[in-house]
Structure 1
Amino acid sequence: MMKSSKSGAVTSPANQGDTSGSGGERNGQQTCTFGRSCNDASLADERAGTKDKILNLRHNNRFGTWNVRSMTDDSKLHIIEREMGRCNIPICGLAEVRWTGKGHFSLDDGHNVYYSGTDRLKRNGVGFILSRETAKCVLGYNPISDRLITIRLQARPVNISVVQAYAPTSTADDETIDSFFHELQETINIEILVNNDAVGKFGLGKANERGERLADFCNENELIVTNTLFQQHPRRLYTWISPDGRTRNQIDYILIKRRWRSSVKVAKTYPGADCGSDHQLLVAEIRSKLKSVKRDTPPRRYDVNRINDQYRVEVRNSFQILLEQEEEWTPNELWEQTKKAISTAAQNNLPKPKKTRSPWISEEVGTMADERRQVKARGIQTEKDEKQYKDLSRRIQRRTRQDKQDLEQ
């Protein structure tokens, strides 16, 4: 079902052995970083011959996150792939995949998987699944730890970075919590962040101590929780269901920079999506809105060669009034009033200059061009016709160069 980036054999991290060595490699798959540096050989080779694509943020784009609760079974990856296609989600962050090692590989239908786990223990683990088209936008990815992975996408109008984070639960010790937020803070220069365990205005239930910590983190870093911005039916808000089905909480979130707030169209869960996890698929639909920049109005131009008597009379009268009130004005005020008098008189009495563009190519060039077109229309069938056509082309070039030199002089 899956192909590794090196050998093309059917394989996945779920059924491979442990990773050895310090290079972050798995069966020839090398870890890639932002910027497509020289260490990005594995990703660059895999994309060789593929035309790069740009993600257009002015269109509706869906970003998903899903706590899949283990992907040690290859069938779950196939199910998630199908659910992404059914829900039209081109990029989905994954939490708790429980794979070892770090790397990326391609699926049979073109989906690309990027993952980051521990060296040996099958616990935690994060990753991304990208559709075939979205994978063409990848500039690089950075598997930071078994709780953090980032991916960089080439987009318009700006490139974006997406971070998948799997936060420790409320039962984790303070040292684990502090270590996670320290790593997250170092990675916070981002545009979009998918995460777990936070609070918001339309959240369900009460925030615990860990949720309040993440809320403070959002405030400090100008982040907002997208799926607490919209008042919706509870089944579109809760992201986790207890095993007995009686308890429902909102503990998975998608965060985004505050300046992108107006770009978020909606953020909600998809209860109909299923991969055998007790967490719901959470999706945010984003479409950028850029503020138009107002340019300064260029100064109005007038045809000074057509100054009339009306203009002279109006300026003379305005100046006479200014002279009578000269002592009441400061030098700067007097200058402003003088400019205003001249501008007003010109606007009322002077016409705009006509835009005239004299052709620098002589009529002779046009005549020769018409003659050459007629030769081509008759058909170039003999050597005489071909010679005449080439001769006219040379004459046109020579005359055009001469006309251009005359213009510059």
Structure 2
Amino acid sequence: MLPGYDTPTDAAPIVRKTAIIDRELLRLCVDVAALQETRLSGEGSLREDNSTFFWKGREIGERREHGVGFAVRNSFLSCCEQTKSMSERLTTLRLKTTSGPVTLISAYAPTMKAPPEVKDMFYEDLRKCQENVRGSDKLMLLGDFNARVGNKRNNWTHCIGPYGIGNMNENGQRLLELCTSLSLCITNTYFQNRDVHKVTWKHPRSGHWHQLDFIITRRSDLRHVLNSRTYHSADCDTDHSLVMTKSRFTPKKIHSAESVCRRVKINTKAIQEDTL
């Protein structure tokens, strides 16, 4: 997940910047990246040497702000279904894998300064977006939520793990309320990483680091997540750090009646040879 993909308005730097991100994703072995705050107009795609970028922004002619998207490794394109966008803050991508379909949601939440009605609309849209995901799909929600969920898990035991960091703010409470109602959990808080590998954004004035970007999944899918942590080494010209998760999806074992019969053991000790 790569928040803060801020792109200039002229066409030439767009290509240059996607090329930079493309090289960084290859170096870090990232197959699919969710992008936030792309600041690109309209909806489109762009192919680079190693990855193809998809984006959804505000309408052409409107102010360039917000924007979400994905970067998908070119070798994975055959596994992708067409992206579906609800707004310049929410877009989805469905992957077909040998372990079954996986739906990814890229989200960019309003900041703390946004009006309450804007926040209400975003979380209502996010709820609808998540509820439209098929129950058979694995779900990964990746986003810059501009929220701090903190480390106090007493009231949020089903969606926060034991390794949170910092204090919760108002945006964090909104996010946790959504996670509680939809049985979602914030994977960043379930792994014992160093604090530097939990924080994702440095406040420009105070210099304090905060955890604002999260990778969220259904509680039933948490067992497939191996780790979620921050990588500050990614050089993509953004004030947010790359948050990456490693997940492993394995197909469900199906025991047929035929296979059960093949595994039946015969007790040879109970067989006695007849004497003539």
Q: How has the CA–CA distance of structure 1 residues 193 and 90 changed in structure 2, closer, same or farther, with 3 Å as cutoff? A: same
Match of 2:63 among 121, 146, 162: 121
Q: What residue number does 1:132 align with?
A: 74
CA distance in 2 between partners of 1:162 and 1:350 (Å): 62
Q: What residue number does 2:32 align with?
A: 91
CA distance in 2 between partners of 1:122 and 1:69 (Å): 12
1:192 paired with 2:140, answer: yes
Q: Secondary structure at the match of 2:81?
A: strand
Q: How has the CA–CA distance of structure 1 residues 348 and 141 changed in structure 2, closer, same or farther, with 3 Å as cutoff? A: same
Q: What residue number does 1:151 align with?
A: 93
Post-superposition shift, 1:280? 0.4
Q: What residue number does 2:52 align with?
A: 112
Post-superposition shift, 1:85? 0.8
Post-superposition shift, 1:136? 2.2
Q: What residue number does 2:247 align with?
A: 286
Please report the TM-score for the alignment, with normalisation by the length of structure 1.
0.55
Q: What residue number does 2:208 align with?
A: 247
CA distance in 1 between partners of 2:5 and 2:100 (Å): 33
Post-superposition shift, 1:68? 2.1
Post-superposition shift, 1:161? 1.1
Q: What residue number does 1:227 align with?
A: 188
Code of the residue aligned with 1:88 in structure 2: it is C
Deviation per CA, 1:88-123, whole angstroms, max 9, x where unpaired? 10110110010110122322x152111111112200
Please report the TM-score for the alignment, with normalisation by the length of structure 2.
0.80
Higher helix share: 1
Deviation per CA, 1:322-345, whole angstroms, max 9, x where unpaired? xxxxxxxxxxxxxxxxxxxxxxxx
Bigger Rg, structure 1 or 2: 1
Post-superposition shift, 1:239? 0.4
Q: What residue number does 1:10 align with?
A: none
CA distance in 2 between partners of 1:229 and 1:218 (Å): 15
Match of 2:233 among 261, 266, 272: 272
Post-superposition shift, 1:157? 1.8
Task: Please say if residues 137 and 154 of structure 1, whose CA atoms lie closer than 8 Å, have aligned partners that are also in contact.
Answer: yes
Post-superposition shift, 1:170? 1.4
Code of the residue aligned with 2:89 in structure 1: it is R
Q: What residue number does 2:157 align with?
A: none
Code of the residue aligned with 1:186 in structure 2: it is K
Moved more, 201-210 or 249-258: 201-210
Deviation per CA, 1:180-235, whole angstroms, max 9, x where unpaired? 11111111026111022352442321111110111111121121111111111111
CA distance in 2 between partners of 1:301 and 1:111 (Å): 52
CA distance in 2 between partners of 1:242 and 1:248 (Å): 6
Task: Please say if residues 127 and 164 of structure 1, whose CA atoms lie closer than 8 Å, have aligned partners that are also in contact.
Answer: yes
Consecutive unaligned residues of structure 1, counting only runs of 5 or more, are 1-64, 303-346, 352-409
Code of the residue aligned with 2:78 in structure 1: it is K
CA distance in 1 between partners of 2:255 and 2:193 (Å): 37
CA distance in 2 between partners of 1:106 and 1:121 (Å): 25
Post-superposition shift, 1:349? 5.9
CA distance in 1 between partners of 2:251 and 2:98 (Å): 11
1:43-122 map, 5 Å: 65-72=1-8, 73-74=13-14, 75-107=16-48, 109-119=49-59, 120-122=62-64
Q: What residue number does 1:366 align with?
A: none
Task: Please say if residues 240 and 278 of structure 1, whose CA atoms lie closer than 8 Å, have aligned partners that are also in contact.
Answer: yes
1:174 paired with 2:116, answer: yes
Task: Please say if residues 98 and 117 of structure 1, whose CA atoms lie closer than 8 Å, have aligned partners that are also in contact.
Answer: yes
Which structure has the higher relative contact order (CA within 8 Å, separation 6+)? 2
Q: Secondary structure at the match of 1:277?
A: coil
Post-superposition shift, 1:172? 1.2
CA distance in 1 between partners of 2:103 and 2:120 (Å): 23
CA distance in 2 between partners of 1:158 and 1:301 (Å): 33
Code of the residue aligned with 2:44 in structure 1: it is G
Q: Secondary structure at the match of 1:66?
A: coil
Consecutive unaligned residues of structure 2, counting only runs of 5 or more, are 150-159
Query: What value does the CA root-mean-square deviation take over the aligned residues?
Result: 2.5
